[in-house]
Structure 1
Amino acid sequence: MAGVTDRPFRQLCKRLGAGYAVSEMVTSRRDLWDTLKTSRRANHDGEPGPIAVQIAGTEAQMMADAARYNIDRGAQIIDINMGCPAKKVCNKWAGSALMQDEQLAMEIVQAVVDACAPRNVPVTLKMRTGWCQAEKNAVVLARAAEAVGVQMVTVHGRTREQGYKGAAEYDTIAAVKAALKIPVVANGDITTPEKARDVLQATGADAIMIGRAAQGYPWIFREVAHFLATGTHLAPPLVSEVKRLLVEHLHDHYSLYDEFIGVRSARKHIGWYLRELPGGEDFRRQMNLLEDSGAQVAAVEQYLDGLNENMDRIPSRGQVSSLARGHDMMEMAA
């Protein structure tokens, strides 16, 4: 979720029901700490706690130093990334690549825990089920991490080899939960309230983590929370509410980035919000040509005002695809 879960997006998700949000992956390389890219990723100005910073790297001392550096800048929780499958990360033996070298992985975990202990800052760990199908070592690593002081483990139900392909499996997460006393969080393919319930039941996990399913649909958190508490579905948001939320998100986004980068990086968020709505793809193509933040906001407002003339509420996740397909069929018939 690097490039997505910046401060504006985290704050929005928390407002819409997420109980906890972790920063984008921050490098442990000291020579990059003062770069604009890293400083933006570590920006928590005005963000409600707890402030959790995710660090990634391949050397124990560098990771320990990165933990101290981020604690000095407000981190209240340090999360070790051992789950990212991206090639540019794994090619440097960071992220989920660490699962292939258990000794190095545990040296890093130990060093980070030791660095955080004097500050009373808890350390958490995000991992995958293993490096590949034949080497699912999440249980072994999770037990070792708990033994040296990690206080929570999150497991994505895929191997590094899978990336995001195929379906997530939850048996390994259940095995991790059964093996540990600390909280375990289940992650992977949780896209609806029903799936959240089913994954919690299948794994016995203490919580769930939602990532990609929140892109363009950040109110999924309140929908899941409501369903788990009541067994009933919360009504999807009004189009007018989505307009307000998206416009506020854009202005917050522009405030973090300058005009040039902000307009361009906001395009993906706008596309995720609107891509499956009637006319959303056509609008996205036109919106991607705009290079001014004012014009971008005005275009979004105009599109949603037009949508509001035909529907009161944004369709729920299960309804969105069929609605968009129906719109496309009508256009083809016309």
Structure 2
Amino acid sequence: MKKIIHVDLDSYYASVEMRDNPSLRGIPLAVGGKNGRGVISTSNYEARAFGVRSAMSTAKALQLCPSLTVVSGNMEKYRVVSKQIHEIFSRYTDVIEPLSLDEAYLDVTDSKMFNGSATLIAQDIRQSIERELNLTASAGVSPLKFVSKVASDINKPNGICVVPPDKIQEFIDQLDLGKINGVGKVTLEKLNKLGLYNGSDVKAFDQSTLISRFGKFGHILWQRCHGIDEREIIVERVRKSVGVEKTYSIDIQNLRECIETIDLLFIELEKRLEKVLHDKLITKLGVKLKFNDFQLTTVEHKHDKMNKQFFIELCEQAFARSQGRSVRLVGLNVRVEPKESTDQLQLSL
């Protein structure tokens, strides 16, 4: 039986800012774009009490919480702290799957620490983070990846939830489907219309009907609700893309301004690619536009090298979908693949 811990720092960016500036503690705080057109990256729990959430526009957040303090993020600082967090993780196991700067899965199945108790290991990880970094983390412990991830959110902030093997199915049966990774707002509405609200509802539902309505995800959801999750911890993730983007303080109204932005983004993208192309090859180029109604459109095509004119052509195609809407964000994206996989593909042809 696996022993999997999911560790998630509490309101990470905001917590780092509060740690480094004690005057920010105890007040509604958000990290993100400070002007009215910015977007919230993270909010602390005082701000969340007002309904302020990540990915919300700063303007909306300030409407919900007029006393909200918004500070600009410092990604370099967050990356440095993240390395310290992951160094702590590595003291307990080598089987670590990072999900972001502030969360990861740890497989401690074979660990001898604390007589093999995953619960005590998770507690010690949390205590080490608080003692050494003055930050708090929450953890979920179970034999299954998805259950551990759900569990880590149950007793936030600064809590732990353990789901032992003999309680797994009971836990899943009572689980709100909206808490399962992959069940977004639209999918949840469709499930609810079928009379499916929790794990026990899905467990009793016809599998073939679920698959016909939701495709591959229907099968995954049926498995999850039957306590099946055979995914291993992925120790090393292969980087598949590199991107840059710019959000405007004032909307762009025409294609010419979009193309002017590509000139600047192209230079930054080349710099970022230098760090990864030593063992990878370019396979696709793409352009992303976000319109003033927050709808995204992306155009991607196969291409094997950086080409500014090709990006411009993709931008023209994307902008043609604007239907009179102005543009608030322009992004460039490059898909990459390891050289080895490309070489193997050529050999197999």
> If the TM-score is normalised by the length of the shorter chain, which range does it land in?
0.3 to 0.5
TM-score by length of 1: 0.34
Q: Hey, which of these two has a bigger chunk of strand by percent? A: 2
TM-score under structure 2 length normalisation: 0.33
Higher RCO structure, 1 or 2 (CA under 8 Å, sep 6+): 2
- Name the larger-Rg structure: 2
Greater share of helix residues, 1 or 2? 1
